[in-house]
Structure 1
């Protein structure tokens, strides 16, 4: 817990200067800054330095974009603070609220941004596709805070796959995480709606994946021919026509789940490219439910979940 007695945090002089270096007329500061003395989450820290304000008022400061850490706007309640961090709370009219299309931020800090992506939104544009993407929206978002800011791709979700994904906020973080991806990422769990009744309650699919001339991925019949891929699955619900599976990736290859579900005779619903004959929910039946990773700076294990879309359950 953070306290106000000076042992854990240091409050600046009540006449804290504005960013222009002047105290506003009337003596009311345009912002107040606090220095963190002990590790804490941002929301609990704000409660400790605003004891006279209600919980909803303090939460509103965050949601309106009035709080920054180290000069960068932060809206996540659980943003981790470390000793020496400077937290600034601004008064006055808050900055314009950013409205995202087909996505929402689950967490952001100085190193990573974790989002929930809807089906239909591209993660990042290709040479042929220049439309609105998650990458473009996040780039615009961070540049409103600092025109020099950039974001960097760590992994992707297919256009028609929904769920949790993340981006790095610097090239150094991107390289650090990707260089040791299998150790950094501790869990990647998907929910898949597949055709047919999967009889085996759980199982593992292992193959070597490669792409043909049309860039369609397939399992090679020759061991060692291609990229090694391992997928674990467990049946959550089933009927004569569909099954809902929890799918855990041991490796993360392009279209791995889609190919492996086709391999066991139960293609993902709506996935015509990989053998599906039906489209019961009007989209691909694949959702990235869980992403857990070791934070590149703090070493903390962070886990984010996105609920299974209701449409996936509507077929049972």
Structure 2
């Protein structure tokens, strides 16, 4: 059983307990944290409280993560594009349309199902549903994702994400013609009050979010851009590009309602992934070519 202890500072006071814990450890999902709280694995000043408890300065919060249960998610023989693999990490080039981990409505056909068939050794820090998963990319985003094969690797990779030392570069096609070559979007992201399934730029209950972008090519009504994440918030690139007036082409949630380009989902690809190897400390850098559907879109746009 893994134990964590925090003492709440003045700056952290008044946050909900479940949100406080996800801020302390970005790899944990709100749902997982709420489950731990409900199961009495979290205590505030040695007492059980609910997820909506507002922490106060001086509170001592303890979390005892139980040993990972035997996985109930079934291994499935699904082909994987393995970019790199050793005893500690595996890097996958995920296809568009594949969900990363099981969730209600998606208990099979996910990257986790495929990984469980491919390799038996995955970290158990994220429990039975998300073994090995350090970070996520959306179902309809293609590209590189790193997976931890043991708890030491998992903790190292999560720490690198928190310290902002990883490299995550995406390629995207957006609506509109961006008039300048480079830019930075520094705008906090939180849940959209009007739609809890969506994120938005907001000052309320938000987390800092920074995206750097570079224009690669411009076309009639569209721009091909490279976006580098400084932070890794849910739907960050999709939300930030919409916020500055250049939503992603094909994005069913944040883009125009009318379909404009022939692609199943947002035109977004995780092209570059870099991190320090959790055991050797060696700098690792990987690149995945654009998927065929985005290449076709670019060829079409260049020919107009």
TM-score by length of 2: 0.65
Change (3 A) 1:174 1:149: closer
Decide whether the 8 Å contact of 1:116 with 1:306 is kept in 2. Answer: yes
C-alpha offsets along residues 146-197 of structure 1, whole Å, 9 cap, x if unaligned? 7x99751111110000011110001232123213424474311000110111
1:211 paired with 2:191, answer yes
Structure 1 residue 300: Cα displacement: 0.3
Alignment partner for residue 95 of structure 2, among 111, 118, 127?
118
Alignment partner for residue 280 of structure 1, among 253, 261, 264?
261
Decide whether the 8 Å contact of 1:267 with 1:275 is kept in 2. Answer: yes
Change (3 A) 1:154 1:257: same
Decide whether the 8 Å contact of 1:142 with 1:149 is kept in 2. Answer: no
Structure 1 residue 295: Cα displacement: 0.2
The structure whose RCO (Cα within 8 Å, separation 6+) is larger is 2
Distance across 2 between alignment mates of 1:281 and 1:313: 11
TM-score by length of 1: 0.63
Structure 1 residue 99: Cα displacement: 6.4
Residue of structure 1 equivalent to 2:289? 307
Residue of structure 1 equivalent to 2:28? none
Decide whether the 8 Å contact of 2:181 with 2:215 is kept in 1. Answer: yes
| Number of aligned residue pairs | 213
Name structure 2 gaps, 5 residues minimum: 1-75, 125-130
Decide whether the 8 Å contact of 1:184 with 1:294 is kept in 2. Answer: no
Structure 1 residue 211: Cα displacement: 0.5
Change (3 A) 1:149 1:200: closer
1:293 paired with 2:278, answer no
Name structure 1 gaps, 5 residues minimum: 1-97
Change (3 A) 1:192 1:158: same
Residue of structure 2 equivalent to 1:192? 172
Change (3 A) 1:118 1:210: same
Decide whether the 8 Å contact of 2:99 with 2:106 is kept in 1. Answer: no
Distance across 1 between alignment mates of 2:237 and 2:285: 21
| Runs of 4 or more above 6 Å deviation | none
